[in-house]
A and B are shown apart, each in its own frame.
Chain A
Amino acid sequence: MLLYEIEGKAIFKSYGIPIPRGEKATTPEEAKEAAEKIGSEVVLKAQISSGGRGKAGVVKFAKTPDEAKALAGQLLGKEVKGETVKLLLVEEKINIAKELYLGITLDPELQKPVIIGCAEGGMDIEEVAEKHPEKIVKQPLEVLKPFKIHQANDFMRQLGFHGKQLVQAGKILYGLVRVYFDYDATTVEINPLVITGDNEIIAADSKLVVDDSSSYRHPDLPWERLNENLKPLEKEAKEAGFPFVLLENNGYIGIIGGGAGVGLATMDTIYHHGGIPANFLDTGGGVTRERMAKALEVVLKTPGVKGVIANLFGGINNCAIMAQGIVDVLEKHKVDIPIVVKMRGHHQEEGWKLLEKYNVPLIKYGSTDEAAELLMKLVRERSAGNVSLG
């Protein structure tokens, strides 16, 4: 989960990383009051769960409190990437002498976190890395050894800091590394890290992405926000604990994969046989009869779905239980579109028997290609009809 800038900055501050003076605002009046309190030119920054705010036009500068109020009126309620702006950060406009980049992220090749620094900040770091790799300073972090202040100083030295300012910069990196580990971050970034006209070093922005799998260790973070900007069906799937992605608008094949890998491959196979996937649902492990039914219901409810392929395995799951869940849906709803099930693994015989009883098209020993072919044939044969889940 990407935290809001304002939340990331509050955490930075508590780890000794200087941030600009700022206030939050949820109404134009609050924005005006904040600007008055700050008493200088301000910047208004929309707090949303995605990046690229500058390009989206939701970062604005105001010279006076009244201007801040007017701009806040424009920003609040604005739609950005499917999200409504409800919160602003009103900050003092800082006097920028130089911008740098500082971040920590996981290097999949090294399988270690790496500190990444660049003496040029404020821009897309990936672009810099591609065009001018020589400008990037990288250093892996040892996960089993504590990070020391002298290491932080030596890293920041490579970005051009020295003397009194190096001590300041080293403290910032030291704090950032601690944030990275303490908050189970997958990425933490200061872009830009600003040297002000007064030679202060300050984090002008924050990007803190916390590993979703660590939520149980960070109960104070706003995890509920993960569900807020989802479409209703995505929300329903998420609440049931399934990774679920709505795909193409003109898609008409629902996909249930017994795992992420087989779901992805099933998606490819549907394309290969001339179909267009409408969604992708991964049952994962721990599938009960109820959860299997829920998975199928969510996929059936996807607008435009004319056929469903369920590519399931009894590995950690149980074929008999999954078949029961599928049959429950068939009993409960009038499903008038084909559902092809390919299923094998633990308790497959019981599962197969049950599905056969309900005349569910079934692939036992065949491949996913065969299942996709069968489904596409059935979909073509049937006159297009909408799903009714009555």
Chain B
Amino acid sequence: MSVLVDENTKVVIQGITGKHGSHHTKLMLEYNAKVLAGVTPGKGGSEVYGVPVYDTVKEALEQHPDINASLIMVPPPGVLSAAEEAIENGIPLVVIVTEHVPVHDTLKIKWLAKEYGTIVIGPNTIGIISPGKSKVGIMPGYIYSQGNIGVISRSGTMTHEISSNLTYNGIGQSTCIGIGGDPVNGLTAVEALELFKDDDETKAIVLIGEIGGSNEELVAEYIEKTNYPKQVYAFIGGQLAPQGKRMGHAGAIVQKGKGTAASKMERLKKAGVKVAKTMDELVNMIKIDGYGKAETIQKHIS
């Protein structure tokens, strides 16, 4: 198993005819992801790398009823409408890659998804990958490898960083979930942890946090409350970040000593999480504990 994404994931890409949409369609196909259709209103009837394009999600679903995930790669002003279209047409998993989505739009998407029972990932995410099986996202597949570590991260580049370091050290991943760097996310870190809890393939979890917000504190609470059965490892970025300055992500800001890396690390440790001070230490901890050998290491595919 793995969570959210596997060989049976069948994807529609909303915004497939855009520059990023078409490029990543190609990369997803190269990773053997099953991209059944694309949607761009007004471009119905065309094709992108052999993938048929439709004007609406409903039309795509009529032609390809197996579709069970959407990847949204439209510019920020179109995200709300695209997400509503996917959710209201019953697609159970919606991944929103787009950055700079107005937070009020994300709020609407998040709570609409709750009503429909849809899982929304993002926005501002690289998406999800279950290495060796499939991906719904924009990550370079070959720096990931199949194995037993679940990865949860607010930061896309940190997901690449930690997963590739694990890969190069012979440690594979079951599923890597980028929950997104914005203050409001569809799937939260706690919900991601919940998914990994019952996944046989996932033996341990890596949480990559960063300053600001209260994700890590909520995770600690959840681990304590549920007596979480799997070992969680964590690394928090921004340990020496200045206060009051927004560090790239809208969510990454320390206000008046709140949301600091130190307080998060302390809180996680208290809950039994193994917290690494450096990224190298994180990989070493996992290595020493003997978790998950990578089954396939895909290198040098460019």
Contacts and interface: CB of A to CB of B under 8 A. Distances in A.
Interface in A342-390: 344-350, 365-370
**Closest A-B pairs by Cβ, 9 of them:** A261-B155, A260-B248, A259-B157, A262-B157, A261-B158, A282-B248, A264-B237, A349-B302, A214-B102
B204 interface: no
Interface in B211-246: 211, 213-215, 218, 235, 237-242, 245-246
Given A216-B77, A247-B242, 9 more contacts: A126-B256, A211-B102, A213-B103, A243-B248, A261-B252, A264-B238, A265-B279, A315-B138, A347-B302
Interface string B46-69: 000000000000000000000000
A252 interface: no
A139 B174 CA distance: 40
Interface residues of B, number: 68
A243 B77 contact: no
B283 interface: yes
Contacts of A109: 214, 218
Residue of B27, B115, B140, B181 contacting most chain A CB atoms (<10 Å): B140
B140 A261 contact: no
Contacts of A346: 27, 140, 302
29 contacts: A106-B103, A108-B213, A111-B188, A126-B256, A143-B111, A184-B102, A184-B104, A216-B76, A217-B102, A243-B246, A258-B157, A260-B181, A261-B156, A262-B157, A262-B161, A264-B210, A264-B237, A264-B241, A265-B161, A267-B241, A268-B239, A269-B278, A311-B161, A313-B161, A344-B140, A345-B160, A346-B27, A367-B165, A370-B280
A345 B139 CA distance: 8
B102 A265 contact: no
A68 B242 CA distance: 39
Interface of A: 106, 108-109, 111-113, 126, 142-144, 181, 184, 186, 211, 213-214, 216-217, 243, 245, 247, 257-265, 267-269, 271-272, 280, 282, 284-285, 311, 313-316, 344-350, 365-370
Interface of B: 20, 27, 76-77, 97, 99-104, 107-108, 110-112, 115, 126, 138-140, 143, 153-158, 160-161, 164-165, 168, 181, 183-185, 188, 208, 210-211, 213-215, 218, 235, 237-242, 245-252, 256, 277-280, 283, 300, 302
